[in-house]
Structure 1
Amino acid sequence: MLIPFLIMLREGIEAALIVGIVASYLQQSGRQSLMPAVWVGVLLAVALSLFAGAGLQLLAAEFPQKQQELFEGVVGLVAVVMLTSMVFWMRKTARSIKGQLHASIDRALVSADGPGWALIGMVFLAVAREGLESVFFLLAIFQQSRGWEAPVGALAGIAVSVAIGYGLYSGGVRLDLRRFFRLTGLFILLVAAGLLAGVLRKFHEAGLWNHLQQVLFDMGETLPMDSPVGAVLSGLLGYQSAPVLGEGLVYVLFLAVTVFLFLRPMPPASLQAATR
């Protein structure tokens, strides 16, 4: 429940931040009449995300067992790629996202097709990116956790992000976004490492990967996965009571590379470009 909550909280705050910046800029420039176009873009992005999620879920249900394992592995791999790219994209653009959105709004307002349609397209693309990332992540999580906790956690994360987004827009909530995205970025990399190890497991069950299957250790009696602590560690860190060599290598190598790249200081040229 905690992982879907935190991921959807972050994704929701990113989307709310985008909508809030657009709304504030329109208000400051005296173009509040274009706000309906912003909400149309948001609703279209939400609809696309919901249809994509439902379509992928229905598609998976039609597959035989081995093909379903392969499909779940592919969905998990896409989720890992999208989550990781989202973390590094926000790390690079967090300082400049406001200026970039203002420039996009200015271009939309002078569009030959009319400012309303251009603004709908701009908001739709920005919010749909967050929505589709969420869809692939939630599908990967729901495939690993079949209970009610994951959907409830995701809905709670969305609800809290909407409240925080409104608070940021109205000025009633102060949030250190740089620290927030940094801490949640590290958390997401941990989650992505667990998902990637799970992808290798799915590919093995689908018959595509049969190497490095030696069991590293077995803590099934000491810390079983169905115990309270084991369930929490499994959800947060991808813990397996009897991991195999391939999964362990993938987990450690992914974290070593991504955490090093995430924590290292940004080059001076990139930092100057991000603050513009």
Structure 2
Amino acid sequence: MLVPFLIMLREGLEAALIVGIIASYLRQTGRGAWMPAVWIGIFLAASLALFVGAGLQFVSAEFPQRQQEMFEAVVGLIAVAVLTWMVFWMRRAAKGLRRELTGALDSAFASGHSHTYALIAMVFLAVAREGLESVFFLLAVFQQSQGSAAPVGALLGVACSVVAGWAFYRGSLRLNLKHFFRLTGLFILLVAAGLLAGSVRAMHEAGWWNHAQQVLFDLNASLPLDTPLGSVFAGVFGYQPAPSLSEVVAYVGYLLFTLLIFFSPDRPAAVAARVETAS
């Protein structure tokens, strides 16, 4: 439950942050009459995400066992790519997000095109991106977990993000977004590493990858999956008590590569560009 809750909280908060910036800017500039267009964009994006998620889940349920393993591996790899991109995109874009959105709104209202369609498209694209990212992540998590805990956690995360987004719009929320996205970004990278290792395991079970399959260590005697701590580690970090060499290499290699970039300081050129833009 914890992993889908935190991921959907972050994904939902990203979408709520963008929508909140757009809505508050419309209100501040006397354009509140265009708020229905914002709701239409949200509705269309949410409908698209639900349609894609339901379609993929329905199609995968019809697959035989080997094809299901293939599908699980592909969805897991897509989820890892999406989560990684999400972490580094928000890390780069968070500082100038408000300026970019308000500039795009001003351009849309200043152009000769329909304001309503431009506004619907802006909201739709922003929310649809977060929604489709969530679809692939949740598919990967649901395929690697059992029971109703994961769906319940995802729904709770969405509900909390909606409340937080409304509070942000009303001005009652003072959240340090930089620290929030940094902490959740680090957590997401750990989750993505577990998903990558699980995808490597699914690729082996599907017959796509048969190299380096020797068991590196076995912790079944000390921390099996059927214990509370083992199940928590498995659900959060993709823990396996007897992983193969290829799974460990994928897990550790991914973390070393992404954490090195994650904790690296901003490049001088990027810092100079932001200083020049701010001045």
Which amino acid letter does the alignment assign opposite residue 180 of structure 1?
Answer: F
Q: Once the 2 structures are TM-superposed, how far is the Cα of residue 274 of structure 1 from its aligned partner?
A: 4.7
Alignment of 1:84-233 (within 5 A): 84-233=84-233
Aligned to 1:267: 267
Which amino acid letter does the alignment assign opposite residue 107 of structure 2?
Answer: R
Distance 2:114 2:39 in 1: 16
Q: Once the 2 structures are TM-superposed, how far is the Cα of residue 208 of structure 1 from its aligned partner?
A: 0.6
Which amino acid letter does the alignment assign opposite residue 149 of structure 1?
Answer: A
Number of equivalent positions:
276
Work out the percentage of aligned pairs sharing the same amino acid: 62
Distance 1:111 1:54 in 2: 38
Which amino acid letter does the alignment assign opposite residue 37 of structure 2?
Answer: A
Distance 2:273 2:167 in 1: 29
Distance 2:137 2:126 in 1: 18
Aligned to 2:71: 71
Q: Call closer, same or farther: CA 1:36–1:273 in 2, change over 3 Å.
A: farther
* Counterpart secondary structure, 1:125: helix
Distance 1:271 1:123 in 2: 29
Q: Which runs of 4+ in 1 moved over 2 A?
A: 110-113, 271-276
Which amino acid letter does the alignment assign opposite residue 125 of structure 1?
Answer: L
Aligned to 1:49: 49
Q: Once the 2 structures are TM-superposed, how far is the Cα of residue 131 of structure 1 from its aligned partner?
A: 0.3
Q: Once the 2 structures are TM-superposed, how far is the Cα of residue 103 of structure 1 from its aligned partner?
A: 1.4
Aligned to 1:248: 248
Which amino acid letter does the alignment assign opposite residue 102 of structure 1?
Answer: T
* Counterpart secondary structure, 1:265: coil
Q: Once the 2 structures are TM-superposed, how far is the Cα of residue 104 of structure 1 from its aligned partner?
A: 1.5
Distance 2:57 2:113 in 1: 36
Aligned to 2:27: 27
Q: Call closer, same or farther: CA 1:112–1:146 in 2, change over 3 Å.
A: farther
Which amino acid letter does the alignment assign opposite residue 257 of structure 2?
Answer: V
Distance 1:244 1:9 in 2: 32
Alignment of 1:3-18 (within 5 A): 3-18=3-18
Which amino acid letter does the alignment assign opposite residue 135 of structure 1?
Answer: V
Distance 1:249 1:137 in 2: 22
Distance 2:24 2:156 in 1: 26
Which amino acid letter does the alignment assign opposite residue 70 of structure 2?
Answer: L
Q: Once the 2 structures are TM-superposed, how far is the Cα of residue 269 of structure 1 from its aligned partner?
A: 2.3
* Counterpart secondary structure, 2:213: coil
* Counterpart secondary structure, 2:266: coil
Q: TM-score by structure 1 length? A: 0.98
Q: Say which is worse superposed, 71-80 or 103-112, in terms of deviation.
A: 103-112
Which amino acid letter does the alignment assign opposite residue 129 of structure 1?
Answer: R
User: What are the ranges of 5 or more consecutive residues in structure 1 without an aligned counterpart?
Assistant: none
CA-atom RMSD in angstroms: 1.1
Q: Say which is worse superposed, 3-12 or 63-72, in terms of deviation.
A: 63-72
Q: Say which is worse superposed, 212-221 or 186-195, in terms of deviation.
A: 212-221
CA contact 1:190–1:237 (8 Å) conserved in 2? yes
Q: Once the 2 structures are TM-superposed, how far is the Cα of residue 61 of structure 1 from its aligned partner?
A: 1.2
User: What are the ranges of 5 or more consecutive residues in structure 2 without an aligned counterpart?
Assistant: none
Q: Once the 2 structures are TM-superposed, how far is the Cα of residue 59 of structure 1 from its aligned partner?
A: 1.0
Q: Call closer, same or farther: CA 1:273–1:20 in 2, change over 3 Å.
A: farther
Q: TM-score by structure 2 length? A: 0.97
Distance 2:21 2:15 in 1: 10
